Amino acid sequence: MSPERFLHPVTPVPRPPEGDLRATVERLAARPPGGPRAAELVADRLRELGVAARVEEEPVRVPLARPASWPAAVAALAGAAGRRAGLPGAAPAPRTISNVVAGVGDGTARRTLVVMARHDAAPGPVARPPWWPVVAGPALLVAGAVARLPFARRAGAALGAARARTRPAGPDAGDGAGDGLGGVVALTALAASLARRPPAGLRVILFSAGSEGARGFARRHFPNLARDSTWFLALGAVGEGGLALLDADGAFRRERYDPDFGDLVARCALEQGIAVERGRRARAGTGGAVPLRHGYRTVCLVSADEGERVPRRRAGRVDYGCVADAARLTEAVARALAACRGI
């Protein structure tokens, strides 16, 4: 699926009205005390835009099957040891997470595009959790146990507890959609445009994930999504600066996003006059890593300014131009997939 096979350029996609984007931001960025959860806010906004949406509750499960998860599992044990030692730790994780799923386009089409965003992060100017305690904590804990060094065991337990404290408690950790707010707003703008003018020959699934919600979505929906006719486009934190396509994901083992699908996205960006950087790599796993590991053709779109420390997006700080470009580009990709019968 090289750009050269995209022979029929997509008609220029209209820019989402900034007033609509602002209305969505104001709705999702905060809620009154005792108000609806972030997932319910997202689902309500989609329904207001004419799209049938539902909230899916998924049980929380700790993934231990993959070797890459073993350090995280040991770090969790280190955090538990730290709490037993009297060190401060994290609050218990919720037993379920809430995903929002909606559909637009041709429900009978063979080809499917899944557009992903995340509504799980808590608002407020906090830094992303560092990845190195996942390795250092278990290493110190094991070394201290083998060498019988109490200070090493306590240091490892403290790192495990600190890592646990920096992780979001779950989809309702904050009042509304947080770090992924830009992606969720772009998702709603895409939903509104596709509801007005559905693409023929393509089913579009709109998916806003709670904390670790991509795994719950995988368990529920992947058995019904064929790998040879399904594409995933993940919208990361796209509310600041320009746009960038990630080439790879992962702190320990690099997992490359689909280069051919990335070429198609880049071609759509060129035809829509949207600047998109390439060659970026994410250290922390994104939601797009889940379908990628399951063999689906996947790309991830993020802010070009995204780094190790990213402030949570507030209503007054969202770059509406960046969000609008993300929505326009995603719609162009959807219409390209619908038009290109040879893909």
Question: Apex CA 105: angle with CA 99 and CA 108, to 5°?
Answer: 100
Q: How far apart are CA 3 and CA 274, in angstroms?
A: 16
Domain-embedded: residue 28:
yes
Burial class (CB in 10 A: 0-12, 13-18, 19+), 267: buried
Q: How far apart are CA 264 and CA 6, in angstroms?
A: 7
Pairing state between β 243-249 and 276-282:
parallel
Model confidence at 144: pLDDT above 90 = no
CATH number at residue 330: 3.40.630.10
Task: Determine the residue type at 75.
Answer: A
pLDDT confidence of residue 139: 67
pLDDT confidence of residue 136: 63
pLDDT confidence of residue 167: 47
Averaged pLDDT for residues 146-155: 66
Pairing state between β 297-303 and 230-235:
parallel
pLDDT confidence of residue 315: 44
Domain-embedded: residue 323:
yes
Instruction: Identify the domain containing residue 289 by its residue range.
Output: 3-59+96-126+170-339
Pick the range with the lowest mean pLDDT from 11-20, 179-188, 283-292. Answer: 283-292
Query: Of 31-35, 127-131, 191-195, which has the strongest mean pLDDT?
Result: 191-195
If one compares 42 and 179, the residue with the highest pLDDT of the two is: 42
Q: Which band of pLDDT confidence, cut at 50, 70 and 90, is reported for residue 161?
A: low
Number of domains in the chain: 1
Averaged pLDDT for residues 55-81: 58
pLDDT confidence of residue 342: 56
Task: Express each pLDDT in 213-243 by its tens digit.
Answer: 888 899 999 999 999 999 999 998 887 778 9
Q: Which band of pLDDT confidence, cut at 50, 70 and 90, is reported for residue 295?
A: very high
Q: How far apart are CA 190 and CA 53, in angstroms?
A: 14
Domain-embedded: residue 15:
yes
Cβ atoms of residues 30 and 123 within 8 Å: yes
Model confidence at 130: pLDDT above 60 = no
Phi, psi of 126 (to 5 degrees): -120, 155
Domain-embedded: residue 90:
no
Domain-embedded: residue 69:
no
Task: Express each pLDDT in 39-66 by its tens digit.
Answer: 899 999 999 989 999 999 888 765 434 4
Show Cβ contacts of residue 330 under 8 Å, excluding neighbours closer than 6 positions: 115, 186, 190, 233, 235, 301
If one compares 283 and 254, the residue with the highest pLDDT of the two is: 254
Averaged pLDDT for residues 264-286: 84
Pairing state between β 230-235 and 203-209:
unpaired
> How much is the mean pLDDT over the chain?
75
Averaged pLDDT for residues 72-88: 52
Model confidence at 188: pLDDT above 90 = yes
Q: DSSP 3-state assignment of 321?
A: helix
Domain-embedded: residue 138:
no
pLDDT confidence of residue 76: 54
Burial class (CB in 10 A: 0-12, 13-18, 19+), 20: middle
Domain-embedded: residue 74:
no
Q: How far apart are CA 275 and CA 270, in angstroms?
A: 7
